Structure 1
Amino acid sequence: MSDKVVKIGGASGYWGDTALGPKQLIRHGGVDYLILDYLAEITMSILAKARSRDPEAGYATDFIDRVMKPWVREIADKRIRVIANAGGVNLQACRRALEAVAEEAGVTLKIGTVEGDNLLDRADELRDKGLREMETGAAMPDTVMSVNAYLGAFPIAAALDAGADIVVTGRCVDSALAVGPLIHEFGWKPEDYDRLAAGGLVGHLIECGAQTSGGNFTDWQDTEDGWENTGFPIAEVSADGSFVLTKPPETGGLVSPLTAGEQMLYEIGDAHSYILPDVICDFTRVTMEQVGEDRVLIKGARGREPTASYKVSATYLGGFACIGSFVIVGRDAAARARRMGEAIRNRASAMLEDEGLQAFTKSDLQVIGAEAMFGDHARPEALQAREVVLRLGVHHPRKEGVELFSKEFVGAALSMSPAVTGVTPGRPRPSPVVGLFSGLINKDQVPVTVKVGGDPVALPQACQQGPGQPQPAEELEPPDVIGGATVSIPLIRLAVARSGDKGNYANIGVIARDPRFFDVIRAALTPERVKACFSGLTRGKVTAHPLPGIHGINFLLAESLDGGGVSSLHLDPQGKTYSQVLLELEIPVPEQEARSWGLL
């Protein structure tokens, strides 16, 4: 086995991420590759709309303005190769902008592009072929704003093989940004499933930027002193796929099995069958070991044959939304806020009827400051808060409907509760509701082209079309918990957690702080108990996926996000806060063990 180590830095987790990541990793990271993730489903619709107005728009301009312009010379001098999905829906315009930046800086860079993900021109064809929504079986909407397939890593590797210094893609799975360089560097083949799964884990851990190196960590007190300069992640990868996760020296944050473990569980669903285009990953036996300060050795990912399909996501206009907010202060503030929200909604609904407009398709009212996210489990004292925010949102098929709501929301300021002030000046702004449609398409229906310097290059295979399918994980032995008296202890004393979204599913990953706690947590956190914790939010089934390698459990909560994304009126449409709600849950711990573990 080669002793070669490839260093990949994750510099951006979304379009809008801080410019600190590229600076750290280019100046002080000693990286071979810099990867930047910019795209989400809503981003694709925004970029498609931008391109419809300007043929040179439609890509992530932050990549040009905040990364390449300030750093292109140093990137070239240090021979750092850059992989970014910044191409959006206009790869060639992004390439031309990159060429202009390089020319202005007086450097020569070979720029590669991966094309084929944008299927908008084929929307009618896909609809006619019966493309269906993965979860509901619904037909594809008649009018769509964007349609993109999630491509894999081998086209990126082909661009690097052809000498590209910068590779820009449209939609691909986020982890492909890291797997592509590893295929190129180590010569991994489509059948190297374990290594491809390990590379997928590398990409998954670093594609969210600092979220794996101390950002958003449960134990925030351990990292707060360095928040001004939170370190961005670096993966030092060996040929067998094992890697050390670290960060640049003298930066804030923290790299530990718990920070890395939180990110591994973030938004992966079933860790035994985490599906990527090139491989089906099994992360259930992954292990993490602290091998130095801010250095964690990660290994044990396994892979199986990939599926025959690419995931395809389309966005479409699903009506209009408007969300208004008021601050309400003083005695009975929470009760006044709730009643005022109800009255505004009732008044606006009556006016819709008077004007011959249909009713709001949905609405949602929250009182922020009275533990809205805790629902039925809010503390009684929270309802006595003396300063709260009324948040009221509505959806309507027509813009006129939400414009009426906007006017009437502000129009209530002098006719209802006392002690009301605005959060922002003026009326709340109506906005389009962008719906998400996700389906599956056979890989052979998606031609992929790789170009370097604008010229096509060889692509032996874009993605293996395999027979793979999700498989149930082997069941663990029942939790081994001693009997006798128990004491109630908040889950946060025994575990850390992180949460996010998978469409309309909330995803909560829980990791035992100590392996000794794992069985107690497993016994207490049944799917039924977790659903009860979110009784006001979760309408569907809760599924638990254990990961014994890191002593963790990943929970999927169906129908928990009001549709999710920008189609949701939920206070937390991406499920980011659910982990903290769950960590407040008190669970039974055998008293004898609680004492021996120092929990009492």
Structure 2
Amino acid sequence: MVSDKPIRIGLLARNRNQKSTDRKSLKGASEGGYISEFLTYVLRPLLHEIVKYNIKIVTNAGGLDPLACKSAIESLVKDLDLDGKVIVAAVTGDDILDKVHNDNELLKFSHIQGNSEDTEWFPLGDKKVISLNTYLGAIPIVKALNSGANIVVTGRCVDSALVLGPLIHEFSWDPYNDWDLLASGSLAGHIIECGCQATGGNFTDWRQSAFSPDGGWNNMGYPIVEYFKDGEFFVTKPKYTGGLVTPATVGEQMVYEILDPGTYILPDVILDLRGVKLKQVGENKVLVTGAKGRAPTKYLKVSGIYSDGYKMTGQLVIGGIDAWNVNVEVLGAEHTYGGLGRPHPSPCLVHFARLISKDSVSSFVVVGNESSEKVTFDGPTHNDNIIPPPLPKIPNEMDGKIDSGMMIKVPLIKLAWGRSGDKGDVCNIGE
């Protein structure tokens, strides 16, 4: 999967706006709208093997222009003499900037928590919104795969949908009823969506991963999901690669950017992680079970980027428990002062999020040379109660038995694993 973080979309939008002030002239253009590295470093060297073994590819490398990415892939297919052996599909409809401007719907967006103190800054005045994209789910991907596509290119969608879509297609799940299976498939996608962060690339006990056999961090193995129709799955990695696959590495990724573990809200399902079990079943192999799901809400998340002047960035290192053990740079230290140490101004791209009703968004699928086909969301849209069901209370056997004189202070890292979030202001800690 290709990383699809909000600011990456912002950079694509900035490039697109720099190339032309006329937005309409960029429709279908190939410059700056999609992740060209996907073609250069993934498809070109691997496409013959992909065709030979009938491997299907689903990627969000379409960025802001999935149709241009589709066209570029089809040109590559011809260059590699594979014409007729690959059907490429594109999913569109996530880009709603023109729609919102034309229909004056921008002010209808609201934050899901309804708390004015938590509402993200909304662009006002001369702050120009340069991109506005809806997080689509798995349904358009399923439509493309069911129509015979070998390669499916999307724009903005939730990362886990890149895995959930193929699972719905492969196992013929009901996307509007099989909530537990949809939850499990979404969890599989969530665990591997950040690549080798699930194999120890971002890990509390980082030394175990950094100095693991087969090269450690210098030769990190990316996670692999081996999925079963009943909803259970293994997480593993290729042989002869560095990193680790343990309940700890998988668990830290599992609690990444989920907010409430009982209510991880996705377009296709609400995922309840509270009963998930992680079991080591072999070397670098973890069994994942216990995901529960319920019907999704009637909303989709919208990711927006606006330009707010310029910024200069500096760094401040805050030492942790192992700060005394770090290496101090001496040779080349001159990069921290004088002209070399002065930060350079760059455009300040600001991300903001809102919600939009699913019935206000239309997605489309273009498969091969066929005409664009509209994809509708036919599932329930009545689930406004996002509060998770209660779990049975487990009695604490230590209640009333703890002598305060026995208590000692220890660093939290000695007791628990934690996972940082790139976009959140909260953290989840698991024991």
Task: Give TM-score scaled by structure 1 length.
Answer: 0.62
Q: Secondary structure at the match of 1:170?
A: coil
The residue correspondences of 1:141-156 to structure 2 (distance < 5 A) are 141=124, 143-156=128-141
Match in the other structure for 1:80: 55
Q: Offset at 1:105?
A: 1.3
Q: Offset at 1:228?
A: 1.8
Q: Secondary structure at the match of 2:366?
A: strand
Q: Offset at 1:51?
A: 2.7
Partners in 2 of 1:47 and 1:290 — Cα distance? 41
Q: Offset at 1:42?
A: 1.1
The residue correspondences of 1:487-502 to structure 2 (distance < 5 A) are 487-502=408-423
Deviation digits for residues 373-415 of structure 1, max 9, x if unmatched?
A: 67xxx99x98xx99799xxxxxxxxxxxxxxxxxxxxxxxxxx
The residue correspondences of 1:135-214 to structure 2 (distance < 5 A) are 135-136=118-119, 141=124, 143-189=128-174, 190-214=176-200
Larger relative strand fraction: 1
Q: Offset at 1:254?
A: 1.1
Matching residue within 220, 237, 242 for 2:227: 237
Q: Offset at 1:421?
A: 5.0
Partners in 2 of 1:298 and 1:423 — Cα distance? 52
Is the CA contact (8 Å cut-off) linking 2:100 and 2:106 kept in structure 1?
Answer: no
Partners in 1 of 2:419 and 2:397 — Cα distance? 25
Q: Secondary structure at the match of 2:301?
A: strand
Aligned-residue RMSD, C-alpha: 2.8
Q: Structure 1 pair 464/498, CA: closer, same or farther in 2 (3 Å)? A: same
Is the CA contact (8 Å cut-off) linking 1:289 and 1:296 kept in structure 2?
Answer: yes
Q: Structure 1 pair 59/449, CA: closer, same or farther in 2 (3 Å)? A: same
Identical columns (%): 41
Moved segments of 4+, more than 6 Å: 385-389
Matching residue within 69, 79, 82 for 1:94: 69
**2:91 aligned with 1:110, yes or no?**
no
Match in the other structure for 1:279: 269
Q: Structure 1 pair 200/483, CA: closer, same or farther in 2 (3 Å)? A: same
Is the CA contact (8 Å cut-off) linking 2:199 and 2:223 kept in structure 1?
Answer: yes
Partners in 2 of 1:291 and 1:422 — Cα distance? 52
Deviation digits for residues 110-160 of structure 1, max 9, x if unmatched?
A: 001111001121232464462335242865546211000000001101111
Q: Offset at 1:459?
A: 6.1
Match in the other structure for 2:30: 56
Q: Structure 1 pair 64/104, CA: closer, same or farther in 2 (3 Å)? A: same
Q: Which 5+ residue runs of structure 1 have no aligned equivalent?
A: 1-35, 326-365, 390-418, 513-600
Letter of the 2:428 partner, please give it.
G
Partners in 2 of 1:492 and 1:129 — Cα distance? 44
Point out the structure with max Rg over C-alpha. 1
Is the CA contact (8 Å cut-off) linking 1:87 and 1:170 kept in structure 2?
Answer: yes
**2:99 aligned with 1:122, yes or no?**
yes
Deviation digits for residues 503-535 of structure 1, max 9, x if unmatched?
A: xx33423222xxxxxxxxxxxxxxxxxxxxxxx
Match in the other structure for 2:25: none
Partners in 2 of 1:136 and 1:177 — Cα distance? 29
Match in the other structure for 1:215: 201
Letter of the 2:38 partner, please give it.
F
Q: Secondary structure at the match of 1:69?
A: helix
**2:245 aligned with 1:258, yes or no?**
no
Match in the other structure for 1:528: none
Letter of the 1:192 partner, please give it.
D
Deviation digits for residues 450-481 of structure 1, max 9, x if unmatched?
A: 11114247666446352223204526456443
Letter of the 1:500 partner, please give it.
G
Q: Offset at 1:489?
A: 2.3
Q: Offset at 1:88?
A: 0.8
Match in the other structure for 1:471: 387
Match in the other structure for 2:115: none
Partners in 2 of 1:423 and 1:255 — Cα distance? 44
**2:260 aligned with 1:270, yes or no?**
yes
Letter of the 1:162 partner, please give it.
S
Q: Secondary structure at the match of 2:167?
A: helix
Q: Secondary structure at the match of 1:441?
A: strand
Deviation digits for residues 90-120 of structure 1, max 9, x if unmatched?
A: 1121111111211111113100111100112
Letter of the 2:15 partner, please give it.
A
Letter of the 2:30 partner, please give it.
E
Is the CA contact (8 Å cut-off) linking 1:283 and 1:302 kept in structure 2?
Answer: yes
Partners in 2 of 1:453 and 1:154 — Cα distance? 18
Partners in 2 of 1:424 and 1:498 — Cα distance? 36
Deviation digits for residues 245-293 of structure 1, max 9, x if unmatched?
A: 1111221111111111111011111011100001111011011111111
Q: Secondary structure at the match of 1:222?
A: helix
Is the CA contact (8 Å cut-off) linking 1:194 and 1:304 kept in structure 2?
Answer: yes
Match in the other structure for 1:452: 367
Partners in 2 of 1:79 and 1:275 — Cα distance? 33
**2:289 aligned with 1:299, yes or no?**
yes
Partners in 1 of 2:196 and 2:410 — Cα distance? 30
Is the CA contact (8 Å cut-off) linking 1:38 and 1:60 kept in structure 2?
Answer: no
Partners in 2 of 1:133 and 1:435 — Cα distance? 18
**2:408 aligned with 1:483, yes or no?**
no
Letter of the 2:5 partner, please give it.
A
Q: Structure 1 pair 141/467, CA: closer, same or farther in 2 (3 Å)? A: farther
Is the CA contact (8 Å cut-off) linking 2:362 and 2:376 kept in structure 1?
Answer: no
Partners in 1 of 2:245 and 2:339 — Cα distance? 38
Partners in 2 of 1:276 and 1:114 — Cα distance? 18
Is the CA contact (8 Å cut-off) linking 1:232 and 1:248 kept in structure 2?
Answer: yes
Larger RCO: Structure 1 or Structure 2 (Cα < 8 Å, ≥ 6 residues apart)?
Answer: 2
Is the CA contact (8 Å cut-off) linking 2:233 and 2:289 kept in structure 1?
Answer: yes
Letter of the 1:498 partner, please give it.
R
